């Protein structure tokens, strides 16, 4: 059986229409999945915020500039150089640094990115300053102990 040119063209047109219909169906399904994923992600973020709120454990929310600034100010003004307390605060500060680093990478707003970067730098500087002061205090107390014991 031989195919005529017009029959082949008709078959090709029908195949092309079928492919376009399938492509449109796939696009529609992808858009539905994308919308569902976006909604799920928003829900997960809100659930995480709610869990953090319910925990009532004084964990600082790195996305909240006020909380980060308050932590920095209170710790900077704290005169105590107890090694355990300083190391505990350093641990909290390092967690905030890690969280801010993630927020910087995920941020799409340049102004908000700058705020996160400033908080990160202030935390890093404060960690270094507190560790230096604590080491200095340890060395001073060791030196005075040595002077008292010949």
The helix/strand/coil state of 56 is: coil
At residue 150, the 3 state secondary structure works out as coil
State residue 115's pLDDT score: 93
pTM exceeds 0.95 for this model: no
Q: Where are the beta strands (DSSP E) in 3-46?
A: none
Both 15 and 77 in one domain: the answer is no
Tokens of 17: 């229409």
Instruction: Identify whether residues 105 and 128 lie together within a single domain.
Output: yes
Whether residues 96 and 26 fall in one domain: no
Q: Are residues 134 and 77 in the same domain?
A: yes
Give yes or no: residues 6 and 46 share one domain. yes
User: For residue 129, what pLDDT is reported?
Assistant: 95
pLDDT score, position 3: 63
Token readout for 96 is: 């905030």
Per-residue pLDDT of the chain in tens (150 residues, 90 and over written 9): 566 778 888 889 999 999 999 999 999 999 999 999 999 988 887 887 777 666 655 678 888 899 999 999 999 999 888 899 999 999 999 999 999 999 999 889 999 999 999 999 999 999 999 999 999 999 888 877 777 655
Domain count for the chain: 2
Domain boundary (40, 56, 72) is at 56
Per-residue confidence (pLDDT) for residue 1, from 0 to 100: 56
Q: Mark whether 109 and 139 lie in a shared domain.
A: yes
Residues 5 and 41 in one domain: yes
Q: Which domain holds residue 14?
A: 1-56
Predicted pLDDT at 41: 86
Number of H helices, E strands in the chain: 4, 0
Q: What is the per-residue pLDDT for 148? A: 63
Q: What is the pLDDT of residue 112?
A: 93
């Amino acid at each position: 059986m031989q195919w005529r040119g017009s029959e082949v063209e008709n078959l090709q047109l029908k195949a092309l229409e079928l492919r376009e219909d399938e492509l449109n169906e796939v696009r529609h399904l992808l858009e539905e999945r994308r919308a569902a994923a976006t909604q799920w992600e928003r829900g997960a973020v809100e659930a995480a915020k709610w869990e953090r709120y319910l925990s009532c454990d004084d964990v600082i929310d790195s996305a909240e500039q006020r909380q980060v600034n308050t932590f920095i100010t209170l710790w900077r003004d704290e005169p105590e150089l107890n090694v355990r307390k300083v190391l505990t605060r350093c641990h909290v500060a390092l967690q905030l640094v890690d969280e801010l680093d993630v927020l910087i990478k995920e941020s799409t707003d340049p102004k908000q990115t700058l705020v996160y970067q400033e908080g990160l730098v202030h935390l890093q500087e404060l960690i270094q300053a507190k560790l230096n002061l604590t080491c200095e205090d340890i060395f001073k107390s060791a030196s005075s102990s040595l002077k008292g014991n010949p």
